[in-house]
Structure 1
Amino acid sequence: MASPSLPPSTFEAAFGGDPDLASAARVAVSEALKVQPGEKVLIVANPCRDSIEISRALFDAVLKVGGRPSLLVQPVKAQLDYAEEALIAAFESHPDVVMSISAEKMGKDRSGLETPYEWDEVSYDHVFHYQLYGAKTLRAFWSPRITRESFLRTVPIDYAELRGRCRRVKEVLDKAERIRVTNPKGTDITIGARGRSAFSDDGDFSLPGQGGNLPAGEVFLSPELGTAEGLIVFDGSISCVSGDLVLDRSVRAVVKGGFVAEVEGDSEAAEVRRSLEDGAESARRMAQEGRISPEKGEQYARNARNLGELGIGLNPRARISGNMLEDEKVLRTCHFAIGSNYDEDAPALVHFDGLVTEPTITAYLPRGREVVIERDGELLL
């Protein structure tokens, strides 16, 4: 009697293949993450076509290098939604690698917000951030709102060239005491950078504690707390609670003492103001419901207007499309984020990025040295 045949072991065998997507997935798995045989890989997806198609290709690519993939599909989560309990529990298996291919966000960690994870005197309100940045037990990439078209175009790039570009920019930012950004639309803002180290999203996520976006291609830092002063004129795209917007009209943000004091403009500016208010009110509501302390509620609410990031786009194949994941990587742009920062000393429930095009970025170093990183959008390093 013949033994029963086993079901297909890959998504490609079960549903058919997509050679282009399979090739791009191999780049992500082998070039960016360098997944090794036997490693546990957690892939997070949503029931959306692009998310599922990319996640299937990544699952198969992990299998082909001998990894142990698990694919978890949860409902779509917006910026203020909680992740499913099953996802948070999946981190208890201590994955070596995490790939988040979410249509929006991974979702907040309810228990982490109520009782933060502590590591080396730093508090983390999400188990993912705790394992990535604190304990450094995993490495990861995350691709919110990624589309098949964008994945195919922006992931298979020359990573050696990108990493060299990112390294040169990071070296300057790491030495900077302050940074000034201007652009032809009227942006003129200065941020402090003392005690800050830049993060390089260069597509090398091969060691524990490393993580970033795919598509890769930016260098960014958290401004020194309370130092940002000036005017930002967002003129490319901007993210809000409702999603990412390509801007037909500029949005002006007046920054004082490290916080956004005013947001000026038309309907897009009104949407940004509503988003900042939602971020603050959600924090206060959590405190009223007893899920976080009143002190933490006020801290999160205040930081909804914190200037949390300056980033510089460096991916040669990225273009402004209304997907901030890709938009913030576009050459000849920089971006600022309002809300939480990456140094974990300005926690907030929200993080809204906005693009500034054709910037001039000047780093002021010790002993009066100045280095122009970009002039009118042209990278000079």
Structure 2
Amino acid sequence: EAKASGTSILYTEVTGVEDYVVRALLHADIDKMIRIGERVCELWEGTDLCRVTSPQGTDVSFQLKPRKADLGRGALTRAGMDDFFPGMQTNIAPVEETINGIIVIDASDSVQGVVHNPYSFTMENGIITKVEGGSEADNMREWLTACDDPTIYKLCHFSLGLNPQAGISGRMIEDERKLAAVDFGFGYQNPDFGGTVGLSDYHMDIMLATPTVYLDGKEMSGNGGFNAEMGFDD
């Protein structure tokens, strides 16, 4: 309601990540992050098939066209928008029914914080069908069940971090912005994404620290950086 009336909202939560916030403000190259982020958005909007893999066993693919990508700058640039400070990350809602494969959560999640023993989601047509692994998988499975909402099992966004000052701390405000790290969100989907997941009382994020992202078979990012052959500067 507030957004519909033109109110803009900037979210932040700095408790526990004070050092990161200082680094992100004082040492990050904002202009470079914007250039990289705008290029990622451009590439994503022109991509049919995106594939994400990782050394830990992730291998998941999905369609991006005709969805629109968004650059979360960590700043308010128009009326009625919301964002998270400090930035940056790129975001898009994959075409839900095309999301299939295995996602191995190797860095952190918004339920438990830092993940010490990687666990996996099996994705079928955009929905979590299996949660496998050790105690952290058990904890996640219990949390999902307690939500008692089928929407929380639906993948609602795919995001990529752009901030070289960010690391993995177990706090999503930092983890989601780690350079070239991947964040998959589940549950509540911001209507601005233009997806089909819809609203929910619940949202959950999972992090992959060192994935490789392929766009129509070409490597876009991996090993904590971006492929210069895809139009990224050094």
TM-score bucket (shorter structure) = 0.7 to 0.9
For 2:33 and 2:207, locate their aligned partners in 1 and report how far apart those are by CA, in whole Å.
20
**Contact in 2 for aligned 1:198/1:219 (Cα 8 Å):** yes
Q: 1:318 is matched with which residue? A: 166
Q: 1:141 is matched with which residue? A: 10
**1:273 alignment partner AA:** R
For 1:187 and 1:136, locate their aligned partners in 2 and report how far apart those are by CA, in whole Å.
41
Q: Is the partner of 1:304 in helix, strand or coil?
A: helix
For 1:136 and 1:154, locate their aligned partners in 2 and report how far apart those are by CA, in whole Å.
31
For 2:31 and 2:223, locate their aligned partners in 1 and report how far apart those are by CA, in whole Å.
25
Counterparts of 1:63-102 in structure 2 under 5 Å?
Answer: none
Q: Is the partner of 2:22 in helix, strand or coil?
A: helix
How far has the Cα of 1:146 moved from its partner? 4.1
Counterparts of 1:214-233 in structure 2 under 5 Å?
Answer: 214-233=85-104
The superposition leaves residues 212-234 of structure 1 with CA deviations (integer Å, 9 ceiling, x where unpaired) of 11120110111212211000001
Q: 2:22 is matched with which residue? A: 152
Counterparts of 1:1-381 in structure 2 under 5 Å?
Answer: 127-128=1-2, 131=3, 135=4, 137-144=6-13, 146-147=15-16, 148-156=18-26, 157-240=28-111, 244-279=112-147, 281=148, 301-342=149-190, 343=193, 345-346=196-197, 347-364=199-216, 370-380=217-227, 381=232
**Contact in 2 for aligned 1:201/1:211 (Cα 8 Å):** no
TM-score by length of 2: 0.87
Structure 1 residues 209, 372: closer, same or farther in 2, change over 3 A? farther
Larger RCO of the pair (alpha carbons < 8 Å, separation 6+): 2
How far has the Cα of 1:253 moved from its partner? 0.5
How far has the Cα of 1:353 moved from its partner? 0.9
For 1:302 and 1:227, locate their aligned partners in 2 and report how far apart those are by CA, in whole Å.
18
For 2:48 and 2:39, locate their aligned partners in 1 and report how far apart those are by CA, in whole Å.
17
**Contact in 1 for aligned 2:160/2:181 (Cα 8 Å):** yes
For 1:184 and 1:178, locate their aligned partners in 2 and report how far apart those are by CA, in whole Å.
20
**Contact in 2 for aligned 1:181/1:359 (Cα 8 Å):** yes
**How many pairs align?**
222
Runs of 5+ unmatched residues, structure 1: 1-126, 282-300, 365-369
Q: Percent identity?
A: 26
Q: Is the partner of 1:166 in helix, strand or coil?
A: helix
How far has the Cα of 1:337 moved from its partner? 1.5
How far has the Cα of 1:150 moved from its partner? 3.1
Runs ≥4 residues deviating over 4 A: none
Structure 1 residues 146, 373: closer, same or farther in 2, change over 3 A? farther
For 1:165 and 1:154, locate their aligned partners in 2 and report how far apart those are by CA, in whole Å.
16
For 1:209 and 1:181, locate their aligned partners in 2 and report how far apart those are by CA, in whole Å.
32
C-alpha RMSD of the superposition: 1.8
**Contact in 2 for aligned 1:159/1:203 (Cα 8 Å):** no
TM-score by length of 1: 0.55
For 1:182 and 1:273, locate their aligned partners in 2 and report how far apart those are by CA, in whole Å.
23
Q: Is the partner of 1:186 in helix, strand or coil?
A: coil
**1:308 alignment partner AA:** C
Structure 1 residues 348, 341: closer, same or farther in 2, change over 3 A? same
